[in-house]
Amino acid sequence: MSPAKTSNGATRGFIVPIGGAEEKEENPIILQRFVEICGGPEARIVVIPTASRLNQTGSHYVEVFDELGAQIVFHMEVRSRADCEKKRVLDRVSEATGVFITGGNQLRLSTIMGGTSLAKLLRTRNANGMHIGGTSAGAAIMPEHMIAGGESGPTPWKGQAVLSPGLGLTNAVMIDQHFRERDRLGRLLSALAFNPFAVGLGIDENTAAFIGPDGILEVVGTGAITVVDPAKLKYSSIGEARRGETVSLIDVRLHILTHGSRYDTHTREPLVEFENAKLETV
C-alpha cells in the first residue's frame, strides 16, 4: 500500500510515530509539538482509539489535547469495519488538521481499518496536508509494511518478526516501538531482511519521529531512535535459514539518534546541525 499522491499545490502532512508511553502530564513535549504542527489554538484533532480495548483511552487523549490548547478535539469510536464507512467518521477526518491513533493491538487496527474508506481517506488527507500521529500500535501501522508482532532479543532469527500490511502513509521506513525497553533490535533486523529497501526505525518510549513532507526526520523526546539502514546489504541468509535459525546480515548501517537529531529518509544520511541540542521544557 503506497502513499497517496499530493494534489497540485498541496504539501504532504507530517507523520509522527511515537514509541509508546509518551509523557502526557509533567512535560508532554511530544504531544505539545503535535498540537503545534496541527495549528496550535486552531488545531482540530480527531483521536482514533481503535487499537485499545480500554473505554477511557479516547476520552483521556481528548482531555490531554484540550489542555495543550487544541481548538477542537473529538474521539471517534471506530470499533468495526462498518464504523470505518460511516459518514460522521469520514466527515470528522475530512475536517481535521490532525489525526492521532492510540496504542493497543496493531492487528486490531489493520483488521478493522485495512482497505476501508477511512484508511483511504487517511492516506489522501495526509498527502494533502493533514498530520497523522500515532503511539505504539498507532505508530507501527503507519508504514506500508507493519511489524504486527514477534519475539524479543538482540539477534535476528527467521520467524522472529510477524509482518502484515500497514496503512501505507510511507514506504520509506518500517517502525518498531517500545524498542529499547522490549529489546526489539533482532526483530527489526529480521523484518528488514525481508524488506531491505526500507529504513528501520526502532523508537524508544517517550520518543517520537517527526517526519516532514521533505522526508526529514527530527527526534523529539527523552529516549532514542535506532536507525537501521540495509541499503547496502551485501548478504542475508534469511532465504536459506530454517524457522528459528539465526540470520546473517552483512553490511547493515546503524545510527543512534537522540532529541534534536535529524535524519534524511531520502538520502539515508544523518544531519549534523543537532550536535548541541538540549531537551527543552514546554
CA-to-CA distance for 154 and 3, rounded, in angstroms?
A: 31
Relative orientation angle of helices 57-67 and 29-37, to the nearest 10 degrees = 70
Amino acid at 148: A
136 is an active site residue = yes
Beta strands 173-176; 199-203: pairing state: parallel
Residue 220 near residue 210, CB atoms below 8 Å = yes
CA-to-CA distance for 192 and 249, rounded, in angstroms?
A: 10
The catalytic residue among 178, 190, 218, 259 is 178
The catalytic residue among 136, 190, 236, 261 is 136
The catalytic residue among 131, 144, 190, 205 is 205
Query: What's the 3-state SS for the chain?
Result: CCCCCCCCCCCCCCEEEECCCCCCCCCCHHHHHHHHHCCHHHCEEEEECCCCCCCCHHHHHHHHHHHCCCCEEEECCCCCCCHHHCHHHHHHHHHCCEEEECCCCHHHHHHHHCCCHHHHHHHHHHHCCCEEEEECHHHHCCECEEEEEECCCCCCECCCEEEEECCCCECCEEEECCCCCCCCHHHHHHHHHHCCCCEEEEECCCEEEEECCCCEEEEEECCEEEEEECCCCCEECCCCCCCCCECCEECCEEEEEECCCEEECCCCEEECCCCCCCCCCC
Point out the residues that are catalytic: 136, 178, 205
